[in-house]
Structure 1
Amino acid sequence: MAFALTEEHADLCSVAADFAGRFADTRVTREQLDSYGNGEPAPFWDDLVANGLHALHIGEEHGGQGGTVADTAIVVEEFARRLVPGPFLSTVLASAAVAAAGDCKASASGLAAFAEGARGTLVLSSAITGTSAAEGGWLLHGTANVLSLQSADLLVVGFNDGGTTRFALVDARSAGVSRRVQACTDLTRDAGILELSSVAVGSEAILENLGASRVETLQTCLLAVEAAGVSRWAVEAAAEYAKLREQFGSPIGSFQAVKHKCANLLITAELAAAAAWSAVVSLDQDEDQQKLAAGAAVQAAIAPSAEAVTEAVTIFGGIGFTWEHDAHLYWRRAMTLAALVPAMNDASASLGRVALEQDRRIDIELPDEDPAFRARIGELLDHARTLSNEHDGGRWYSRGSQRTFLAENGLAAPHWPAPYGLGATPAQQVVISQEYARRGMTQPSSVIGEWAMPTVLAYGSEAVKEQFALPTLRGELIWCQLFSEPGAGSDLAGLSTRAAKVDGGWELRGQKVWTSGAHEADWGICLARTDSEVPKHKGLSYFLIDMRTAGVDVRPLKQSTGDAEFNEVFLDSVFVPDAYLLGEPGQGWRITAMTLQNERTQISSGVSVGTEDALRSMITQGTYAGREHDALSSLGRIAAFSSAIGALNLRETLRQVNGMAPGAGSSLAKVAHARLTREAASRVLALAGPGALFAQAPGDAVTGQLSVPQVLIGGGTVEIQLNVIAERILGLPRG
């Protein structure tokens, strides 16, 4: 997917792509590499300025387009994908920092100059200091390695003034400014060593009200956006090559190893885009949220970009390692982005300190929101808060309970159609989620019922709908899913459970396995074969089974953790009335596909997926075997990718809210989350140290590690999901 989430941004992306195609084709760029390294003006710069793409975030009163940094980010990402050369990134970063200073003399003059076409760069270095000058102002001293230094007309310089970081707008030709040319790793840009020797800066050049944290977030978010563009090129180029390149008589994209490489690249690219987008969004949030978002962007977007190109090169093979191939140009650019952020281990620990106290959150802005709808939801939830959730024994909630009230007012599953839900649109679901969150309330879950009921509502009779819908929402009925079998896991269509037609219904025989919660379920959704004479996908039918029917034998499966959440279920001549066959015989595969798609998307204002809780607990309790820095660094990394996965899901929600076609985010997030859970469990176990000798290890490390397989295997193994991503999303050929 591209970075854009709205039709307007999609149009802007097209404009940027068109400009890059006309003025900055990589073949032309290759012919001009020497000039870029010397800082000579890009031949298309005047055209860029004429199109206003450099000034989208600059106010109209200063000659800009009056847009936002988010608008500029669209262009940055597309330009990175197309390897547009020159100082565009450095210039928009410098001007965005100036714009963030607000209304001051230096800001007004600087923005006007940038809007007219001045090139610039941002200088962030602890080695730059300022001392008070006798006649007022400051004298700047120090050195820094700076990207696009040679081509810059204006420098936005951060300097240390007695422990306070100030920012000044400095003419690159000022007395005392020395720029030593250095060959840049990125051959499409220049770089150099800036030396400041008693450079005089008056108070009129100071960018007032501009804090270091804000500038650091700006730099990180635009670097991350560019990294996302590089990663997008890597997956697109690699996948396209894999479709065309043949070995052993077949396209290499049909080989499973290559499929997995390409699918993993896509996951990397989409997490990078999500983390970068989250960082851009954070510019309108508080400082702690900016730190969380920027830290995640470093970990999930900037750091992986060079490795993404490396992985693409392994798909290209020897040709990708040649000078003539574009891969090394993108590779070099990714390396320079990583060079502009703090050392990774230090950055992880710093993020961990912030993540220890809070999660990353985003308040989604909704187009054309109906205030009356929000007010009505708020009133209902306020009333719900006054109700208890006491049971009438067992699992039954009292008739006046909070759970019952929410269910009967459509707020347990608001996306379901009336009268069981509200038929809520994606935008309305976001409003409802926000109102739950503002009150510290959690939307009720019926777990498997959330997958089963939309299918029942689509294919069941009116009597069946009434029998199951509200009782499920009220928590009176528990469901299980009878799909997997000993010989049919990921290959679900290969199942062998049989359903034979009998008078008034069907008789089922077979065995199911890995059935979560079957030991306490009231009803199960079951897939069985009703026709053995047709292709395996076409002979399946979909049934609802009363788990207390004669012939249903549930046998717990004790897991490696010692718990027994899974079960074997034996069906021995189990009678299912005709009313509980959903759809027609033979429609089971199509109906099952709907069930598997109905795992409810978590629509919320939060973007943490909760994989870091054990690490937080260990740090808070000091049970990390004396390695505080390692513990904080581990928390920072896990929180970063947790945030990126949550942002990926949130972007999918916004696509729906904005009326755009759904992307691939939910499929990719599932694999990413499984892997992150595995890594988090491993880090907790390592931090437990000698404590892991005992079953009750710190952070529940032993149980956490033993529980990982159910995440990696449940719902289809990661490897099968990678095949699906490669074939259905990237379009790679089947093997």
Structure 2
Amino acid sequence: MPIGISDDHSELATTVRKWAESQGSIAAVRAAETDPSALEPWGALPAEMGLTSIALPESVGGGGGSLLDQAVAVEAAGYALVPGPFLTTVVAGLMYDDAEIRAGIAEGTITVGLGVSPLGIIGAGASTHVSVPTAEGHVLVPADRAEILPGESVDLTRRVAEVRVGDVSGLPTYAGAGAPLELVVLAAAEASGIARWCLDVAVDYAKVREQFGKKIGAFQAVKHLCAEMLEVSESVTAAAWDAAEAFEVGGEQARFAAAVAATTCFDGAVEVAKNCIQVLGGIGFTFEHDSHLYLRRAIALRAALGDTGAFAAELSAVAASGVRRSGDIDFGGLDEQFRADAVAEAQRIGGLPEAEQRLALADSGFLTPHWPAPFGLGAGPVQQLVIDQELEAAGVERPDLVIGAWAAPTILEGGTDEQRERWVRPTLTGEITWCQLFSEPGAGSDLASLRMKAERTDGGWLLTGQKVWNSIAERADWGVCLARTDAEAKPHAGITYFVVDMKAAGIDVRPLRELTGEALFNEVFFDNVFVPDDCVIGEINGGWRLAVTTLANERVAMAGSKLGESVELSIDLLDEVSAPSAPEKIGRAIALAQVVKLLAMRSTLRSIAGQGPGAESSVAKLVGVRNRQDSAELAMELLGPEMFTTSERALAANDLFLRNRCLSIAGGTTQILRNVAGERILGLPRG
């Protein structure tokens, strides 16, 4: 999914891409190999479309839009590989608060080359002005007042030069050394466009290219490579989007988000571009294919912005000062119809004794507002988020339903009225606890291969077999269980969904000790366990559908400001660690943790906008697992010899590292989820 979420942004991106293609952006780049003048029209062309001034004030001929509006256009231009000084001209217009300069940029008479080092000014030699870094910041110099020494760039779409200047008194200036935020934000947007083009081209090729009698996208190695490209490109897009959003807020929020983008986007675009060529194979290594042009643009863009490790180190310093990215949502007024009632009810519940709050949450529907009445409110995304906000403001914490959060919705979906009354409300009030009895020793991610059998008997069924990886089975009152009721049917078709009394005769629960040394899971053995007919949910042999579907009105939530236990511990350790690489490593962990939150936020915003789920929710699981596992390992590394002590943080880091190993296995292994992402999101063929 591109940076823009709204319909207006989608339309803008489509318009920019179609315009660039109609103007022959890539054809001009190829023509410039023998005729450098082929790129000259691209100085003024974007201005003629109003693309250089989207975020400039209307008083100078600009569009008066936000930086996010401009980022959407820059991303689309990156996708279409718009050549020349477009990016740098847009950035200069935002940097220099000079009405004459901005008016010239808006009308196309002024173009600007720009860089963070005098040795590599992008667009110099093809622009009317150059923005040159100085000790105090940056200065905008007319090209005829500077000495421009043409350089050599791997990027064939933009000229680069060394620029030397003399007296710069009286010229427009921009305070602040290093890479300007405006440049970081919009370069990140361009990186998103590059990554997205590379992903699309690789996936399209994998769908049609045949080897060994089948489409190469059917091979798991290629499918996983494309899925990994999806993970990276979505991460790049999310970070670029948030940097543009935060820029309008300014201050430390803008600095934090820009550092996340710089740490994530430029490396990410290079990685996706390299993997695109890998998927394309031999054709990707030819000069005739366009993929190398995108790889060249990506690697040059990263070089132009500077060491991404330095941005990561800066991010760790900002985070260590206490800054976190707020997750506030702009509802655009859609929350007003729910706000007053939510405030009143949340404050009423918050005023009750803590022992009475759970019952009040259940009675009000605030415990599970996304569930249908009478157990919830049938709330859509906006109402859910408003309730979340007001409960937090009132200091009310919802109890965790644990497995009940999965079991009860299935009963709501497929059960009878009597079954809903019997099990759903007691789940909400905490009277009953659930476990899940799905996985078997030979059926983990592949549940369709489960072998537990259920045989007909008077008044119900007899279940025989073994389940495994069953958390809290040792204390659960009830379990939701899948068993095979028709051995002759196709694997998915012969399964029925049961509710099992965990105190029934014939059930043997045995603790299963994990690598942490604890026994959080169990094996559960069934020996002719009787399950009455009124404990069958839905139709006989219809259990698979119930197992893989949930309520249509899905739960949405806001991401908090915390970055996760391991990342927060690493930030706390920053001042204690002397290793020179520590700030960069911590910064990269912060950036990845923030990207996970941003993916969730974008998914929530899509829900608010009434759009179907995008790729973010699926990618968030994959990226989130990597974030939590890697950050736990980093915390151990930073603690060093303290890991061999019994300090509270050493014990916590040890436990997190060991416990988090299950994350890439539970709920579907990372490898299986990448297959799913490749097939269901990217549309690659099955193997």
Scaled by the length of structure 1, the TM-score of the pair is: 0.88
Q: Which residue of 2 aligns with 1:139?
A: none
Provide the residue aligned with 1:269 in structure 2: 233
Q: Deviations over 1:474-515 (max 9, x none)?
A: 333322211100010011000011122222222221111011
Equivalent in 544, 552, 556 of residue 589 of structure 1: 544
Residue equivalent to 1:318? 282
The 5-angstrom pairing of residues 41-56 of structure 1 reads 42-44=40-42, 46-56=44-54
Distance 1:547 1:97 in 2: 66
> What corresponds to 1:449 in structure 2?
404
Match of 2:605 in 1: 654
Shift of 1:201: 1.5
Q: Distance in 2 between matches of 1:482 and 1:584?
A: 18
Residue type of the alignment partner of 1:14: T
1:151-162 alignment to 2 at 5 Å? 151-156=126-131, 159-161=134-136
8 Å CA contact 2:413, 2:550 repeated in 1: no
Question: Which amino acid letter does the alignment assign opposite residue 9 of structure 2?
Answer: H
- The one-letter code sitting in structure 1 at the alignment partner of 2:80 is R
Q: Tell me: CA distance 1:442–1:228, structure 2 relative to 1, closer, same or farther (3 Å).
A: farther
Separation in 2, partners of 1:690, 1:606: 30
Q: Is 1:188 aligned to 2:157, yes or no?
A: yes
Question: 1:494-513 alignment to 2 at 5 Å?
Answer: 494-513=449-468
Cα distance between partner residues in 2 of 1:80 and 1:195? 29
1:637 is the counterpart of 2:588: yes
Which whole-Å deviations, capped at 9, do the CAs of 1:160-187 have from their partners, x for residues lacking one? 45xxx5x5544333x4x22221122211
Displacement, 1:195? 1.2
Q: Which residue of 2 aligns with 1:113?
A: 104
Q: Distance in 2 between matches of 1:699 and 1:196?
A: 58
Question: SS of 1:674's equivalent?
Answer: helix
Letter in 2 for 1:732: L
Alpha-carbon separation, structure 2, partners of 1:159 and 1:469: 67
Q: How does 1:274-673 map to 2 (within 5 A)?
A: 274-356=238-320, 357-389=322-354, 398=355, 400=356, 402-438=357-393, 442-595=397-550, 600-604=555-559, 606=561, 608=563, 611-619=566-574, 622=576, 624=577, 626-627=578-579, 629-673=580-624
Q: Aligned partners of 1:276 and 1:23: how far apart in 2?
A: 26
Q: Give yes or no for contact 2:12–2:72 (8 Å, CA) kept in 1.
A: yes
Partner of 1:717: 669
Instruction: Write the letter of the residue equivalent to 2:324.
Output: D
1:380-422 CA distance string (max 9 Å, x none)? 2223333343xxxxxxxx3x2x222222212211111122222
CA distance in 2, matches of 1:440, 1:701: 29
Please say if residues 310 and 331 of structure 1, whose CA atoms lie closer than 8 Å, have aligned partners that are also in contact.
yes
Q: 2:43–2:127: 8 Å Cα contact kept in structure 1?
A: no
| Structure 2 residue matching 1:18: 3-state secondary structure | helix
Q: Deviations over 1:141-175 (max 9, x none)?
A: xx4521112222244555445xxx5x5544333x4
| Residues 47-66 of structure 1: per-residue CA shift (max 9 Å, x gap) | 43332222221222221222
Aligned equivalents of 1:86 and 1:638: distance in 2? 35
Matched-pair contact (CA < 8 Å) for 2:510–2:522: yes
CA distance in 2, matches of 1:619, 1:705: 19
Task: Say which is worse superposed, 364-373 or 151-160, in terms of deviation.
Answer: 151-160
Residue 537 of structure 1 aligns to a residue in which SS? coil
Identity %: 39
Paired residues of 2:433 and 2:476 also in contact (CA < 8 A)? yes
Corresponding residue number in structure 1 for 2:626:
675
Aligned residues: 685
Q: 5+ residue gaps in structure 1?
A: 128-142, 390-397
The question of whether the paired residues in 1 share the 8 Å contact of 2:574 and 2:582 is answered with yes
Distance of 1:477 and 1:212 partners within structure 2: 61
Q: Is the 8 A contact 2:409 2:551 kept in 1?
A: no
Matched letter for residue 539 of structure 1: G
User: Alignment partner for residue 81 of structure 1, among 79, 85, 110?
Assistant: 79
Other structure's SS at 1:200 match: coil
Paired with 1:597 and 1:709, the residues of 2 have a C-alpha distance of 32
CA contact (8 A) 1:275 1:644 kept: yes
Q: How much does 1:441 deviate?
A: 5.1
The one-letter amino acid of 1:702's match is: N
Code of the aligned partner of 2:402: V
Q: 1:121 to 1:448 in 2, by over 3 A?
A: farther
Q: Say whether 1:146 aligns with 2:121.
A: yes
Are the structure 2 counterparts of residues 76 and 123 from structure 1 closer, same or farther at C-alpha, using a change threshold of 3 Å?
Answer: closer
Cα separation, partners in 2 of 1:71 and 1:17, compared to 1, 3 Å: same
Cα 1:430–1:144 change in 2 (3 A) is farther
**How has the CA–CA distance of structure 1 residues 405 and 170 changed in structure 2, closer, same or farther, with 3 Å as cutoff?**
farther
Letter aligned with residue 359 of structure 1: R
Residue 540 of structure 1 deviates from its aligned partner by 0.6
- Shift of residue 34 of structure 1? 5.2
Shift of 1:644: 0.9
Taking a change above 3 Å as real, the CA distance of residues 42 and 605 of structure 1, as seen in their structure-2 partners, is: farther
Equivalent position of 2:61 in the other structure? 63
TM-score if structure 2 supplies the norm length?
0.94
Kindly tell me: are residues 42 and 607 of structure 1, through their superposed partners in 2, closer, same or farther at Cα, counting changes over 3 Å? farther
Verify the 8 A CA contact 2:603 2:617 in the aligned structure 1.
yes
Could you say if the C-alpha distance between residues 327 and 124 of structure 1 is closer, same or farther in structure 2, counting changes exceeding 3 Å? closer
Q: CA deviation at 1:190?
A: 1.0
1:239-287 CA distance string (max 9 Å, x none): 1112222222222211111111111011111111011111111112242
Contact persistence 2:381–2:556 (CA under 8 A): no
Partners of 1:70 and 1:610 lie apart in 2 by 31
Secondary structure class of the residue paired with 2:474: helix
* CA–CA separation in structure 2 for the residues paired with 1:437 and 1:90: 44
Q: Deviations over 1:15-72 (max 9, x none)?
A: 1121022013423431224555x7x754355543332222221222221222221111
Task: Indicate the residue corresponding to 1:31 in structure 2.
Answer: 31
Distance across 2 between alignment mates of 1:192 and 1:436 = 57
The answer as to whether partners of 1:448 and 1:479 remain within 8 angstroms in 2 is yes
Paired with 2:553 and 2:487, the residues of 1 have a C-alpha distance of: 28
Deviations 1:313-371 (A, max 9, x none): 12222221222221221111111221233423322222112223243223121134242
CA gap 1:297/1:607 in 2 versus in 1, 3 angstroms: farther
Against the structure 1 CA distance between its residues 538 and 250, is the aligned structure 2 distance closer, same or farther, given a 3 Å change threshold? same
Aligned to 1:11: 11
**Contact 1:610 / 1:642 at 8 angstroms: preserved in 2?**
no
Once the two structures are TM-superposed, the CA of residue 611 in structure 1 deviates from its matched residue by 4.9
Question: Relative to 1, partners in 2 of residues 1:319 and 1:417: Cα closer, same or farther, differing over 3 Å?
Answer: same
Once structures 1 and 2 are overlaid, which stretch shifts more, 404-413 or 24-33?
A: 24-33
Structure 1 residue matching 2:56: 3-state secondary structure: coil
SS in 2 for 1:612: helix
Contact 1:17 1:79 in 2 (8 A): yes
Contact kept? 2:467, 2:524, Cα under 8 Å: yes
Task: Classify 1:327/1:212 alpha carbon distance in 2 versus 1 (closer, same or farther; 3 Å).
Answer: same
Q: Which stretch of structure 1 is more off in the superposition, 498-507 or 221-230? A: 498-507
What letter matches 2:103 in structure 1? A
- Cα offsets for 1:116-147 (capped at 9, x unmatched): 1134447564x8xxxxxxxxxxxxxxx45211
